[in-house]
Each structure stands twice: as structure tokens, then as C-alpha cells.
A and B are shown apart, each in its own frame.
Chain A
Amino acid sequence: MNFMDWYRADRLPTIFCVGCGNGTVINCALTAVSEVGWKREEVVFVSGIGCSSRAPGYIDADSLHTTHGRALAFATGIKLANPDLQLVVFTGDGDLAAIGGNHFIHACRRNVDMTVICMNNQIYGMTGGQGSPTTPRGALSTTTPYGAEEGTFDLTALSIAAGANFAARWTSYHVKELTNAIRAGLETPGFSFIEAAVQCPTGYGRRNRLREPEDMIEFFRTHSMLRQKYDRLLAEGKLVPPDTIVVGEFVRRDRPVLGGKK
């Protein structure tokens, strides 16, 4: 079965802007889900609020499009009430790390058996491009008109520190690697976190000299560095270029899981 068969064809095309990376990540996630062979009846797709969180609405399976930031708490309830269901959560950087930050660390801590895919576009897309907890220092947004001054969250590191069993980061350029990482996440019991850097040409790119969708894809291509190389450079005391996106698998472990199949 091809990932295309998982879409609600009657709802396409999506509401996403031209060249938005969210669609790519949904393709990869659905490819991974069909590769692991889950049946539609056993998967529930959950999300919060944001452009990225519209994903479940396009998938032909049970899906819960919840309130802003709360997807993981809803998903926790579903998983614990019926551990036979497989949970896949789509979320955005604002949804997950700002308003939903507390649920995020606690879902990691509990190591609830679910796979969480965060489309990190470094911006609040749906509300028109305000700064988020992952907006890089200096980047322009409608609420950081003079450049973002706050520090950012490293979402993957946060998930690891909080206790997730699996964590990986890729980008919408690395479709094969991203698919494989999501698949590994689906197959790893416990909380699996996959951070997917995505382009938001409308809310982010337009204000940060990455106007065309392909500009951002090109940025991902040229600025990504494998985790192994990054670690080596650090160990050797060498300089890592700023703006580097470190990609790869960061953790895979088997801490005790909450809500595993009974």
C-alpha cells in the first residue's frame, strides 16, 4: 500500500500555502505508517492547533484535532484507555513547545507509547508569522520586528532530557531519512520524538530572505550536518558553522513505558 492511499482524497488539496513543508512531512509519516503495516482501525492521529496540526484531518483514519498545545494530553488519555490503539501525534513548534511545553515534558517523562512528529517551522504559521520558542536569534517575525532576542529551545534535546525513548531530527529535504526515522519511532516502544525542520515560506521565509520554497530546501540541504560529524567536530574542538541543523538519530533506548500494549 502506498502512502497516498492513507489520504482522504476528498479533502485534497490541503489548505497549506504553496510549497509549505507540512505536506511533505505528512507524506513521510504515512509512508512510515504503511511500511510498518498498521491497519487503519488501530491507528489514531492526534494534533493540536496550527497549520501543522491540520494534518490528521487529511488522513483517512480515526483522528482527533484538539486544542492549542494539548494534543499530547489528549493522546495520553486515548493511549492509556485503550493501549491497543497506535498513536501518532502531529504538532508544531509553538503548539508543542510554547503553550504545550508542560504536556511535552511530562509525556516524555511518562514515556507514553506514542510517536510525536513536530513540524518545526520556527514560527507561528497559522496566526501569520509571530515568533515561537524556536525562532532563531535575530530572525524577523511579526512580533520580533527587530530580530528575535530570546534564546531558543532545542526540541530534540528537550525530549531526551525529559525521558523520551527515541529522538531524531531531520528536515523536509531529507525525505527518505525522515521516513526511516519516523518508522524507527513507530517501532520503538515508548515516547518517540521526531523533529522535522520544515519550510514556512509564508510566515518565515518571506521575512528572512528565504522567499521561495526551494530557498529553504536549499538551506536545509546546505546547512544540515550529521550528528556524528557534529560530535566529531566538537570533540576536535573545531568550529561548527552557525545556523547548522544537526540531523540524525539522537537516542534509542528502552526506559520503562507507560501505556504499552497489554
Chain B
Amino acid sequence: MSKISFIQGNIACAEGALAAGCRFFGGYPITPSTEIAEHMAMKLPKVKGTFIQMEDEIGSIAAVIGAAWTGVRAMTATSGPGLSLMMENIGYAVMTETPLVIVDIQRGGPSTGQPTMASQGDMFQCRFGSHGDYSIIALSPATVQEMYEMTAEAFNLADRFRVPVFLMADEIIGHMREKMTLPDTVPVMPVRERTERSTLPFKAEKDGVPGFTPFGKGHHVHVTGLTHDERGYPSTTNPDVHERLVTRLVAKVESTRREIASYDVTNPEAETVFVSYGAPTRAVWQALHDLKDDTVGHFRLKMVWPFPDWVEELFPQAQAYIVPEMNLGLISRELERHVTIPVISVPRLGGALHEPEELIRAVEGAK
């Protein structure tokens, strides 16, 4: 029986991970994400899982990648400064096609910034922060319920694509308490593991993803962050090998954009459309409720990356998009690349959520 519960977003995140079978957590304390680590420290040993507090976030993500290669579901949770430290190894996870989940409870930056205040300032960092070309998946919850469900789903996506999956939450959702339904089980997709040793462990299947070859199963796989061929052997000066590999790493995610996309469309006939993700979604909901205007719609992203660049198909009559974000306008810029009508950014810094009135004024201004 599913049960109704009243918990904090960060705890819901940890519970979602546990429900999805996460059995390894490596982390380093940082506000406003620490409750996730603390909850995992308490719960993981009881389910024969491993919690370790590493010496820093570089070590945390490294340990998580190592653990993932033993075939367990592994995750870490952090905030901006920690995410910055993880960047090199996130690129490593991409290059080595390591499935793992990174939770970022965003706080105000740059630098140490506002440890206890919300922000969405890391939305580009999670997508582009490590060097080189690559692609990742990022989900953005707006409710405590979604903290639970999206964390669980993040593991399925990570396993399916063998790619780091980000849960881009923020201090508001992380620290908010609200009612949620704890389901009995969450959908857990089986991992596509190779059953036999192959001389080409990094040869992709039709969907661009190679079957997983965890350590300890006789695969004798060599895993390296250097450009490698299908054998997994370094091949660092052959332009074709590099191009083929990097193109595949990007394509395996980007080519499925439409299939895996996750968003809510409210009022597709709208002329003015709010585009939101994460906490500002809640302000939009309130504004829509207060406005009671059927020329206003809402495009709410649950998966921010890969970005659904076919927005215009969804709102054929739109005249303007309004994008409230808790940054100086990041995803609004991404949206601008893909649409022909004006994109109005409604930035918010400092940690407080947008006021619904502010959004209503923006609608009036757009008309």
C-alpha cells in the first residue's frame, strides 16, 4: 500500500534513490544538500549498501564512478561549489559511459555565495561544465513528490544511456516539506549487461549504447578517459576514432530527445506561454490560477536537458514566451535558439521565488 507522507524534498530524494535500488552513496557535506547524505548514511547500511563521506567532492564523484563500475546503482548529492569540483570527473563518467546520478540542490553563486538560498544558476554548468563536447540528461523537480519520482527515474535513464543523469533541484524544493504519496515500488528498468566477454566491450548496439561490462564478471575490460576504440584501448591521435566516439556519445542521448522528453503542456492554444522548470514552476502555477486567462499557457520542463527544441510545434499560436528563472536567464537563452518569437526572461536572484504578481505583470507587458 502506498502511503501518504509529509517529508522534506531532500529526504524524498534519498528515499526515491533507495527505492530505485541505489546502494552506494559517496558525498561531502554541503548546504543545502546535506540532508540527502545524512539520510543515506542512516539508511544504506540497513539495506547492505555503502555510504562514504569522502575527503572532497572530487573524491565523491570518483568513488561513485568506481562503485558504478562494480554494477551497483550509485549516486552523489551536492550543491554549486561541489558541482564545480566534480566537473573533470563528470567528463570522465561521460567518456567512460558510466551510469550514475548526481543531485544538485542549487544555491546562490558564484563561489560560496548564498549557502541557504535557492538558485538555478547551475543549469548550464551541468550541461556544459566539463571540457569537450558531450551530452547529459538533467531533470528538474518542482515538488517533493517529484524529488522522489525523478530521482528514481534518473537511475533508469542513467542505466539505459550509460550517462550521468542530473537531478537539478534547488534549495526551495530540497528544503520544502509537503505532502507526498510514497508508492510501494518504483519502476526499475533492468540493466543491459553483456553476458559474455567480448573483445569489443565498447562496441555500441543499435541505439548507440554498448552493453554494460561491470568489473568482477570476467569481462577484462579496460576503462579509460582517453579517446578509445571499441576494444577500450587508447587511440589518441587518430582523428576518426575520436570523432566517431564523441559523436556517438552525444548522439546516443540527443537522438532520443523526443522519446525521453518529459514536460507538461498547459493550454496549447495560448498566445503567451510561460516556460519554467524547478521551483519557479510553482509561482507560474499560482499566476495561472490567479490570471484565469485562457490566452496564457504553460510549458513546464521536467527534463531540461536534452532541451525539447520543438517547442513551437507544441504552442503553434504563441506570440511570446515568458521564462521565469532563478538566475539571470540561462534556459531562456537556450529557448531563444529554437524559437522565432520573442523570449522574455524574468530573472530572479537572491533566493526568493518569483511573486505571482510579478509574473502576471510580465504577461501584461508581453501583450
- A: residues with CB less than 8 A from B are 8, 11, 40-42, 44, 46, 56-57, 60-67, 70, 73-82, 84-85, 102-103, 106
Contact = CB atoms under 8 A, between A and B. Distances in A.
B161 interface: no
Nearest to A71: B62
Given A41-B217, A80-B24, A81-B74, A63 B223 contact: yes
Contacts of B55: 73, 102-103, 106
Contacts of B23: 81
Given A65-B223, A73-B66, A77-B68, 14 more contacts: A41-B216, A44-B216, A62-B215, A62-B216, A63-B221, A65-B225, A76-B63, A77-B26, A77-B63, A80-B52, A81-B23, A82-B216, A102-B55, A106-B59
B88 A77 contact: no
A44 B66 CA distance: 11
Interface in B1-54: 23-24, 26, 50, 52, 54
B72 interface: yes
Nearest to B26: A77
A77 B60 CA distance: 9
B218 interface: yes
A11 to B, nearest CB: 6
A77 B224 contact: no
A78 B67 contact: yes
Contacts of B221: 62-63
Interface size classification for chain B: 35 or more
B233 interface: yes
Interface in B87-120: 88-89, 92
Interface of B: 23-24, 26, 50, 52, 54-56, 58-60, 62-72, 74, 88-89, 92, 215-226, 233-234
B355 to A, nearest CB: 44
B225 A80 contact: no
B220 A77 contact: no
Nearest to B65: A74
B89 A70 contact: yes
A82 B50 CA distance: 10
Nearest to B98: A64
Nearest to A106: B55
B24 to A, nearest CB: 5
Identify whether the interface residues of A are mostly helix, strand, loop, or mixed. helix
Contact of A80 (B62, B63, B218): B63
30 contacts: A40-B220, A41-B216, A41-B217, A60-B220, A62-B215, A64-B223, A64-B224, A65-B225, A66-B225, A67-B62, A67-B92, A70-B89, A73-B60, A74-B63, A74-B66, A76-B54, A76-B59, A77-B62, A77-B64, A77-B74, A78-B66, A78-B67, A78-B215, A80-B63, A81-B66, A82-B71, A82-B72, A82-B215, A103-B59, A106-B55
Given A82-B70, A85-B70, A77 B223 contact: no
Nearest to B217: A41
A62 B56 contact: no
B219 A62 contact: yes
Contacts of A61: 220
Nearest to A57: B222
A62 B220 contact: yes
Contacts of B70: 78, 81-82, 85
A40 to B, nearest CB: 7
Contacts of A11: 233
The 9 closest A-B pairs by CB, nearest first: A77-B66, A77-B63, A73-B62, A81-B67, A73-B59, A65-B224, A82-B70, A78-B66, A74-B66
A77 B65 contact: yes
Contacts of B50: 80-81
A79 to B, nearest CB: 8
A228 to B, nearest CB: 35
Contact of A66 (B26, B60, B62, B220): B62
A23 to B, nearest CB: 17
Most interface-central of A73, A80, A81, A84 (chain B CB within 10 A): A81
A60 B222 CA distance: 8
B141 to A, nearest CB: 26
Question: Which of B215, B223, B226 has the most chain A CB atoms inside 10 A of its CB?
Answer: B215
